[in-house]
Amino acid sequence: MKNSKRFVALLMAGVMSTAVFAGCSAQNNTEPVEATTQSVKSGSIDYMALVNKTHALPDNWEKQLKTVHIKNSVGDDVEVEKKAYDAYLKLKADLKKDKIEVDLDSARRSVAEQQRIMDDFTKKYGADYAAKTVAKPGYSEHHTGLALDLYLIINGKDVTENEDMIKYTKIWATIHKKLANYGFILRYLEGSEHITGYGYEPWHIRYIDDVKTAKEITDKGITFEEYLGTASGKKVTIDYGSSKLYKKDDLESAVIQIKCKFAFYDGFELSAIRYAGDNYATDKKLNEIKKADPKSKYTDIAKFLMDFRTSKNTGDTKLKPDTDYKDYECWLARTKDDGWEVLDFGG
Ligand SMILES: [Zn+2]
C-alpha cells in the first residue's frame, strides 16, 4: 500500500509534496527549448549521457541497455543497469560498515511505461492536468537505468516516503560522501533547481562509471549539467523583499517553482529572482486569472521579477535569442491544497 502511493508520487515528479518539501511539479505544459538529439553510436551505452528536461534519452538507448531485476525489501521489482547495480552493491556494503542500511526504491522506468502513465492520466484527468503532473516520456533520467532512488532502513523499518526520508540529514551526508568512490554522483543539488529542473533529492543518485570524474564533480559541488557545460554555474540572486501576505517559506517554495520552470529552457542563464511585492497580489488580478482558467481553484497569487539571458535557440517562446531580459514578469498561483504553479513564462 505504502509503496503504490510512493510509486505514484515518483511518477508525478513531486507535485504532491510541494508543501512538505521543495519538489518541482512536472510543468511541461510549456514546450521546452530542447537541445539537439543524441544517439547511441556503438554497441554500448554512454555512461556520461545527460538526460534531463531538455535532453531526451539518446536514440537506441533501450536496445543497448543491459539490466538486472531485483526484489527490494518491500517486495517490489526494481530494474537496474548491470554495472550500476554492481557498483551499488559495493556502496551498500560500504555503508553497512557505518551501520547505514539502504535499498533501491526505483531505478529504471522505460519510455513506454512513462507514456502509459501519461496516457492514463490524460484519460482520467485531461491533457492539461497530465502535462502538469506527469514527467514527459523520454525526459526522465530514470529511463537510463543509471539513476537510482534509494530508501533508508532505520532500525529494521523501511522509510520510503520522501517527507520522512528528507529528515535524516546526517545519514544522507554520510551516504553522499561515499558515492563518488563507486562512480556515483548526487544529481539534484539544493539551490540548483534552475539547472536540474528538480528540487533537492538526497536519494536520487546517478551512476557515471568513472570514479575520477565522479570525485571531481563532487569536490567542485557542481551539477552534472555544469560539468558537461550545458549550464553555467552563475549564482542566482534571490530577493524576497518584505511581505505581510506570505511567509518566507511560501516565497521560498514559489522561487523553487520558478527555478524548476527555468530548467525547461536549454542554455538560458538565470541571474536574479525578486518578489515584486504584496501590492500586486490583488483580488482583481486573481479574478482575472480565474476568468482565463474557469476550472482553476486558485486562492493566492504572487508576482516575481526575473533577470536572465536567453540562448541562441528560444524555441516557441516569444523571446529574442542571445538577449538580456531584466524585470521579466512571472506570475504564480496556488490552490489551498497544492503548491505554487508558474502561470506564464516566456509566452
Ligand atoms: Zn529519482
Q: At what angle do helices 169-179 and 82-97 cross, to 10 degrees?
A: 130
In percent, the amount of the chain with pLDDT more than 90 equals 71
The DSSP annotation for 171-187 comes to: HHHHHHHHHGGGTEEEE
Residue 337: per-residue pLDDT? 82
Q: Ligand 1 centre and the CA of 148: distance in Å?
A: 6
What does the pLDDT average to over 253-276? 92
Q: Ligand 1 centre and the CA of 163: distance in Å?
A: 14
Domains of the chain from N-terminus onward = 2-228 (3.30.1380.10), 237-344 (no CATH)
Quick: pLDDT tens for 160-180.
Answer: 999 999 999 999 999 999 999
What value does the mean pLDDT of the chain take?
A: 88
Quick: pLDDT tens for 92-128.
Answer: 999 999 999 999 999 999 999 999 999 999 999 888 8
Strands 237-239 and 269-275: parallel
pLDDT at 238 over 90: yes
Q: Ligand 1 centre and the CA of 149: distance in Å?
A: 5
Q: Ligand 1 centre and the CA of 231: distance in Å?
A: 20
Q: Ligand 1 centre and the CA of 136: distance in Å?
A: 14
Map grid coordinates 515528479 to a residue: 13
Residue 6: per-residue pLDDT? 42
Quick: pLDDT tens for 321-340.
Answer: 999 999 999 999 998 888 89
Say how many C-beta atoms besides its own lie within 10 A of residue 160's C-beta: 26
Quick: pLDDT tens for 14-61.
Answer: 333 333 345 676 665 556 677 766 766 667 899 999 999 999 999 999
Strand order through the sheet with 237-239:
237-239, 269-275, 300-309, 324-334, 341-344
Q: Name the E strands within the chain.
A: 67-71, 77-81, 101-106, 147-154, 157-159, 184-188, 201-207, 237-239, 269-275, 300-309, 324-334, 341-344
Q: Ligand 1 centre and the CA of 244: distance in Å?
A: 36
pLDDT at 215 over 80: yes
Give the least confident one: 17-31, 80-94, 125-139, 177-191.
17-31
